[in-house]
Amino acid sequence: MNVVRANVQASIQANRPAFVRGLALLIGAVVFISCAYFYEGGGWNQNSRFDLVRAIIQQHTLSIDAYHENTQDKAFANGHYYSDKAPGVVLLAVPVALAIRPILRSTGVDPDSPHGWVVVSYFATILTIALPFAAACACLFLIALRLGASTPAAAFAACAMGLATPLWVYATLFWGHALAGACLLFAFAAVLQLSGSGSPNAARDFAWSIAVGLIAGWATVTEYPAAPASSILALFALVLVWRDGWPRRWRTAAGIAAGALPCVAVLLIYQRAAFGSAFHPSYSYYPAGSFPWMKHGYLGLTYPHIGLALRLLFSYRRGLLLSGPVLFAAPFGMRWLATQSATRAAAIAASAVAAYYLLFQASFSSYSGWSYGPRYMSPGLPLLCVGLPPAWDYASKRWRIVVAGLAAASFLFTLMTVATTSQPPSDLKFPMLQLTVPSFWFGNLSINPGSMLTATESGPAHIGYAFNLGELVGLHGLVSLLPLMATWLIAALAWRRMTRQAPQ
């Protein structure tokens, strides 16, 4: 009997990692499908980036002169127009676009036709934005387990981040916010690897430190404002190893620097090639009269305004109170993590990144433009979600009902937004009630009228406008969402079966 019991225990311990990885993979797959189901069409932000993808592939140049009329998000230097965005998203998307083009050609579709470029833009979006974001949701599940959460709490946090925050919306757009946030969460996970039990291993330390520098550095290559957040994570890594003495401190610092330097080099080389100066970001080159608020302070940044910070949290126009109310539970969980010695440093670092992004947007002259929620602070939301698992695990029964209600409201608001338009006009005082809810309940979905193509290419046929995959197969209105809902049901049944057979 003792031998049988020992064999069972050994089997459980051996299967536990595979079981956890299976659950993480299922979460990532659900989030990825949920993002890939929607194509949000064009807009100034995504057009600016996709114009650069096309310029590199079609004309072998960084200038977007041939396409620039479809966006106002552009820089002007040395007589040419350029994307005003950091190049991280584009540098990942170019290989994707190059890989998709011969596949299109083999199916009889001209990759340089308007329809061909729409397909390229779709795959560029889901593979460079949605896929890393979905992986970040799976990563959050694993981080939560590492920090002591139960499996249901970790799954709640990962699904809430993927489907009940504005990040779901941003992950369907060819923007940089979701990718930058995913990179910051990956870097946070890499830092946690430095706190593993056992004696320090020099090669392992150096490898994980390089990962921290490289991934956090790419967040900055993707979105310039990520630089301070990346620095916070680098400091977090040094704090974790500080008590182990100078050899480990130097090793960690050297690894972070070795990972970050290539990212710095990429950014400087791009800026030098495009604008003639390696040390002036693209936001320094707006055409005269464009975005006059960027002349305030340093590129639009002044100092945090308390009134603006409160509006970012509570207003009915862009506030988190409507776009992601479940996130209001996260600070309570973060406070609990901060009371435990084993997780205190992680809680402080995650909170610092989230707080930085709130202060950053509260210091910025622009109020998010045409977007759902406070998008400039969104790269900090994945780190804020680290507080959701303990907020679930250690809540009373009554408080857990409240948290579940907030999550359900967040999911419904976000689903309605991603199904209708992720870019409500900035002149609407209450876009949720004025546009999103009426459009959704009357089945008027995919209403964004923009295209990533030029006006000539889009033409009267409106090529490149928003759609969802259900609409592509002939479904209309709310019925077009049924295939996605069926996917969620299948995933829920798979989760139930996996957890019933779980090693305890």
Q: Which two tokens stand for residue 138?
A: 């799976």
Given a cut of 70, whether residue 145 has pLDDT beyond it is yes
pLDDT of residue 13: 41
488 in Cβ contact with 494 (< 8 Å)? no
pLDDT tops 60 at residue 198: no
% pLDDT > 90, the chain: 83
Mean pLDDT of the chain: 92
* CA distance to 100, 116, 129, 318, per residue, from 122 (Å): 10, 10, 10, 26
pLDDT of residue 196: 66
Is a pLDDT exceeding 50 seen at residue 322?
Answer: yes
Q: For residue 199, what pLDDT is reported?
A: 65
Q: Using one digit for the tens of pLDDT, what is the confidence trace for 466-497?
A: 999 999 999 999 999 999 999 999 999 999 99
Q: Check whether 116 has a pLDDT greater than 60.
A: yes
The yes-or-no verdict on residue 298 having pLDDT over 90 is: no
Nearest of 348, 306, 358 to residue 328 by alpha carbon: 358
Strand partners, 81: 76
DSSP code at position 286: P
Range 122-146 average pLDDT: 98
Q: What is the pLDDT of residue 368?
A: 62
Percent of the chain with pLDDT over 70: 95
Lowest-pLDDT choice from 175-189, 197-211, 379-393: 197-211
In the prediction, which pLDDT does 330 show?
97
Tens-place pLDDT, residues 412-432: 999 999 999 999 988 888 999
The count of residues in the chain is: 504
- pLDDT, tens only, 375-387: 999 999 999 999 9
Residues in contact with 473: Cβ distance below 8 Å, sequence separation at least 6, in sequence order: 483
Q: What angle do CA 366, 368, 370 make, to 5 degrees?
A: 120
| Averaged pLDDT for residues 249-269 | 97
Q: Band of the pLDDT at 442, cuts 50, 70, 90?
A: very high
Higher pLDDT, 449 or 355: 355
- What is the structure's pLDDT at 453? 95
pTM of the model: 0.95
Residue ranges of the domains in the chain? 26-294+416-500
